[in-house]
Structure 1
């Protein structure tokens, strides 16, 4: 009877000792592996675009035939801009998602409310202006800088329309001191340069 009790006690101690030893060994190995520097630890992770960026071709810009449905800016209460650069009233959106080009108020590549610094007062006009073919060089420069800076947001956009949607949203370039706009009348920017602090570019 005493021998069986002693045997149980010893077994229990051995099991506890094994568990403690394994746990302690795991902790030591984990600490050592975390302390080892990896070969590329000093280099920032480079974001690689998963698929090539798509610009609209000149043929697409010049086409007047609606072959495919359009994507559009969706949220505007009054104005909507589609991925062909047309701005129209919400009532003039077709079932395809495209602006009705037959409407006299529909305008393509409209830069109304936009200034020389590429900042606009109205989001939809910012996108429409940004989609103009002559803005490609400006946007290519911006994309190059965004890639070098590993900007996740702009590395994930797939085409010209997505880039303009993202670029024209209010971003850190449009604000100062994190709580006020540099230019409250032109806060949607698609260019590289932020609105000036001194208001010199205001009209």
Structure 2
């Protein structure tokens, strides 16, 4: 009778050992198979746009005739300021019920906290507003052309200049040095292409 208990224990251990060895083999095969894919290879994946990006001048020339839309998208998350997709910045309390800032009380495409030579601004919403100006298209096209890695993937998913500006003005990894300090803490929201700090460049 005691030998039956021993056999049961051995069977359990054998089964567990087999399961463990199969799992270990599976992990090793997967690790070995993926070892050729470096981070750089992932960075070099091409991301294709499915639709052409809609630029501000395209919207203006497509029959809006300068009239405000019935509804606007806006930057949503600002505690004090918001920017709508027409490029107007307003206080959250003054946002109209249709999601637009009042065009009679606010300036369109405001760059008043921005260093337009660098393409960086002190206030996120004003960065987006300045970025939405149709004359910023060439700057944005260069930023998209020079993008790499996750930014390329992100830029491939945006549908228009508003979405591009929302994404571009969020803190860009190239606007920091040593990964934890802003190059310029006064103007940290950038719509233009920012060259990576030497601490982020590949040697």
Report the TM-score when normalising by structure 1: 0.71
Give the greater-gyration-radius structure (CA). Answer: 1
From the two aligned structures, give the one with the greater helix fraction.
Answer: 2
Report the TM-score when normalising by structure 2: 0.71
SS in structure 2 at match of 1:107: coil
Aligned positions, number: 190
Cα separation, 1, equivalents of 2:120 and 2:104: 28
Q: Which aligned pairs between 1:1-203 and structure 2 lie closer than 5 A?
A: 5=1, 8-9=4-5, 11-12=7-8, 15-16=11-12, 18-19=14-15, 22-23=18-19, 25-27=21-23, 29-30=25-26, 33-34=29-30, 36-37=32-33, 41-42=37-38, 43-44=41-42, 46=45, 48=47, 51-52=50-51, 54-56=53-55, 58-61=57-60, 63=64, 64-103=66-105, 106-115=106-115, 116-146=117-147, 148-151=148-151, 152-193=153-194
Runs (4+) of structure 1 moved beyond 6 Å? Answer: none
Residue ranges of structure 2 left out of the alignment (5+ in a row): 198-203
Cα separation, 1, equivalents of 2:177 and 2:14: 60
Change (3 A) 1:39 1:188: closer
Maintained 8 Å contact 2:54/2:159: no
Cα separation, 2, equivalents of 1:163 and 1:51: 15
Query: Per-residue CA shift, 1:64-117, capped at 9, x if unaligned?
Result: 3333421112344543210111123434321011111222xx111122222211
Residue ranges of structure 1 left out of the alignment (5+ in a row): 197-203
